[in-house]
Structure 1
Amino acid sequence: MTDETITQAQALARVEQLIRDTAAALAPAPQLELIPHGTGTDICLNPNEPAGKVNVNRAYWLHDVPRSENLSISRQVKAYWEAQGHVITGTGTGKSPNLSGESRPDRYILGLSWSEGDKLFLEATSTCVWPEGIAPK
């Protein structure tokens, strides 16, 4: 354990970068809409981390992607993440476009998820960080 991390603001910037860079690599180009429920800052639940650390989460709907393109989008996301050096940790089965990964070098959790109505969303969650970048005294 270290007493120093990046700040919460820096973690948010990285989460946003991961999502926006992924979306920018897709065709057709999606319009991003923040999903407010379940995104933000949460208490770190990792039992190996000290109390007081937080995770930063963001998720965005991918609008303007035809349902018929969901599997293509999933393949594009997978290829993009792999090209960036990220690790794919899970894929959907059958016709499911779900995809999960872990960014490198920072090990953020990445996801492309399918929801009811054949909608897709991209999400990213930071590792546990101290809100101000250093453990409180």
Structure 2
Amino acid sequence: MRNKDLPGSIGAATSLVILLAAGCGIGEPSTTIDEEEAQKKVDNYLSEAFSVLPPSAEPEVKIDFRSATCGEPSSDPVGRVTVSKSYWARELPVEDNKKNAELLLDHWLENNYEIMHDSRPDEISIKVENKGDSFRMAVSEYPDGDLAVTAISNCIWKNGTP
């Protein structure tokens, strides 16, 4: 049995919190997509990511859909949220993690994403943002060698309007 809450996982968890917070920009659009639409886009982006990994890659839900507030309630009183979901990429050899992270990064760069953070070569932790809709993707290697792939929406109102 694998324990994903090992102390070594703190860095990856902290990176996820930073990635979530980064999606809440300063201007407030008058309408956004709603939570259900955000979930569909998150699923689509995750499916696209897994499509570039070797066929043996088996997605296993790490964190199912989660909504998180955008920033501090005092700085975002209108109650916007981000929607995220994470998968473990199972059945991939640990020795191929660098290559698989590179496959994901190449895919993202070819599809209108820009790099927000890249910790390589020290560790596999890459975060990108879609230039068109500000959705973010990440791939991180955990201490036991497992890769996690995450998709996070931009800040939205749950119902699409304030």
TM-score (norm. length: structure 1)? 0.88
1:43, CA displacement in angstroms? Answer: 1.5
Unaligned 5+ segments in structure 1 are none
Distance in 1, Cα, partners of 2:57 & 2:100: 10
Deviation at 1:115, TM superposition (A): 0.7
* 1:126 aligned onto 2:153: yes
> Given the alignment, which residue of 42, 45, 52 partners 1:25?
52
Give the equivalent residue in structure 1 for 2:66: 40
Higher helix share: 2
SS across alignment from 1:36 = strand
**Residue 97 of structure 1, CA deviation:** 2.2
How much does 1:71 deviate?
0.4
Contact residue 31 and residue 62 of structure 1 kept, 8 A: yes
The total of aligned residue pairs comes to 134
**Are 1:49 and 1:128, in contact at CA under 8 Å, matched by a contact in 2?**
no
1:3, CA displacement in angstroms? Answer: 2.5
1:86 aligns with 2:99: no
1:28-79 Cα deviation digits (max 9, x unpaired): 5411111137x51112216764421111011100001100110000110111
Deviation at 1:117, TM superposition (A): 0.6
Give the equivalent residue in structure 2 for 1:57.
84
Greater alpha carbon shift after TM alignment, 67-76 vs 28-37 = 28-37
List alignment gaps of at least 5 residues for structure 2.
1-27
Task: Calculate the TM-score normalised by the size of structure 2.
Answer: 0.75
The answer to whether 1:114 aligns with 2:135 is no
Identity across aligned pairs (percent)? 20
Provide the aligned C-alpha RMSD in A: 1.8
